[in-house]
Amino acid sequence: MDIGTISLVLMLGLILLLAIGMPLGFASAILSVLVLVMKFEPTLLTAPWTFGDGILTGRPGSGPLNILAQRIYGLLTDYVLISIPLFIFMAALLERSGIAKDMYSSLNVWLNRTRGGIAIVTSIMAVIMAAMSGIIGGEVVLLGLIALPQMLRLGYNQNLAIGTICASGSLGTMIPPSIVLIIYGLITETSIKALFTASFIPGFMLASFIIIYIIIRTQMRPEDAPLPEPIEGEPEGFEKFKLFAGFLCILLAGFASVLFLRALFFELSGQNATNTGDAYAYGTAEWLPRFGGAVVFAFVMMFFVLGRARTALGWQMGKGLVAPIVVIGVVMGSIYGGITGITEAAGMGALAVLVIAIFRGEASFDLVWDSLMRTLKSTGTIIWVTIGATALAGAYTIAGGPTYVADFIVGSELPTMGIILMMMVILLFMGAFMDWVGIVLLIIPVFLPIVQRLPIEEIGLIGQLEPRYVAIWFGVVFCMNMQVSFLSPPFGPAAFYLKSVAPPHISLTDIFKGFLPFIGIQLLALSVLLIWPPIVEILLK
């Protein structure tokens, strides 16, 4: 059977199976078998009694089935895959401990007298949580439990509150350590560390767009974000700024001290002399006076400029931010400091959260058990979808599908940006109906080779992307697409996550209505990536 007919049957079959409610993992697995049969042994469909006479059934341990089995086995035994349950476990511990609530309270202290401050706090908290775990669903649920009642109680516009929570809660897709980027890196054999580095600026750009929108909207429509009543004796204005400066000085002193001791250890132990690579970033002797100077500066500010009393009060107001900062430092610092790989960093992050919970007196058997059960369920879902989608993508590849699609798209005589925009439309459409795991496993192996065949000088409108960064750029663009998919009706998962914890009077229709301006913000950020591709290279050089 020709590959064009197989492609049509595959597309219609996938739509039909998903429409009747079959899980994506099983639908993909069934269709993978169908693709192999149509391509290599179609007589099984017309004359099933010939079983055992063809290339598939005659020698089941060889040929296409063997290639497919090796592909699935290779993916499931990849060491980096272990980081996914570790990050999920870390996120589950964060949700069930009081770390997130204390973080929200501390952020609220600094911004509660700012117009739209609660919404801004919610967005900043989402960024911090995304940088800790890279999990999306849990963030939306947690923000819905903590921030939504607060905003509704203060009289915030319902659409603004809903959109802020769901758009900010999905930032884990873009901001490292994103699980979406990990899966993309595994499938495309792209450096996950490079993907993390490249997504920093686009991720924080999107978060900035959301915060800027909140500020502009609440300034133009003050009724959308009423200010809470002032608390007697609460510091305001410049005094609050000085308290925050005291808190930052304590953080600077602690962080610089750790880096100073680290560099001193590497220098005195002689490891810098024997190390010829770049494993000890910020760990050489030239950094010692810089870190030492930062420590001295922080102490001078705390004791002689701001004062001990003000610094101590600032610490009390902001100490809820310390635990999240420590976790981010452990995870991202161990990766970019050359200490560990992605998987080990995930394990260290999960251990750090557990240790913090123990010191806070929140650790218990129930906490760990519930977190493990959630990790098991979430990981099981991802793994089954991974198996099914990898089988389908592998079967379609063996049948010649990617070459057929590539020749069809490239031969359409569309300009380069026209081809990329067509891909974006397809990704946005698929994202409205399918889970991101299935999309990255099914669509990316087809689209990425096409993008890599396009003239590099015609990608984007401003600047030129270096050829070695094409796969990285497309990975970041894909993640920005998935940002939109989390809010896209009719199956935007963020809406269902929030609905599970929202008050009864908020319907799914209300939730999707609140998404509209934030989908526009996400599309704006996606447009920046398409117009100016070199934005992903800034931190890679």
CA end-to-end span of the chain, whole Å? 48
Nearest to 516 by CA among 480, 492, 482: 492
Most confident of 16-25, 477-486, 521-530: 521-530
Contact present, 174 and 199 (Cβ < 8 Å): yes
Contact present, 331 and 132 (Cβ < 8 Å): yes
Q: What pLDDT does residue 58 have? A: 64
Which pair of tokens denotes residue 109? 């202290």
* DSSP code for 432: T
Say how far apart CA 310 and CA 295 lie, in whole Å: 18
- Compute the average pLDDT of residues 16-24: 80
Judged by DSSP in three states, 436 sits in helix
In Å, what is the CA distance from 248 to each residue of 101, 118, 243, 325? Answer: 20, 21, 9, 12
Q: What percent of the chain has pLDDT over 90?
A: 13
Distance of alpha carbon 69 from the chain centroid = 29
* DSSP code for 533: G
Which pair of tokens denotes residue 148? 């939504």
Say how far apart CA 384 and CA 447 lie, in whole Å: 23
Say how far apart CA 469 and CA 455 lie, in whole Å: 13
Contact present, 476 and 192 (Cβ < 8 Å): no
**pLDDT grade for 51, boundaries at 50, 70 and 90:** low
- Compute the average pLDDT of residues 96-123: 83
Most confident of 12-16, 54-58, 394-398, 465-469: 465-469
- Compute the average pLDDT of residues 229-245: 78
Residue with tokens 């100073």: 260
Q: What pLDDT does residue 281 have? A: 64
Residue with tokens 């706090």: 121
Contact present, 136 and 169 (Cβ < 8 Å): yes
Quick: pLDDT tens for 355-365.
888 888 888 88
Residue 13, class by beta-carbon neighbours within 10 Å (0-12 exposed, 13-18 middle, 19+ buried)? middle
Quick: pLDDT tens for 282-308.
777 888 899 999 999 999 999 888 888
Residue partners of 273: CB distance under 8 A and separation at least 6: none
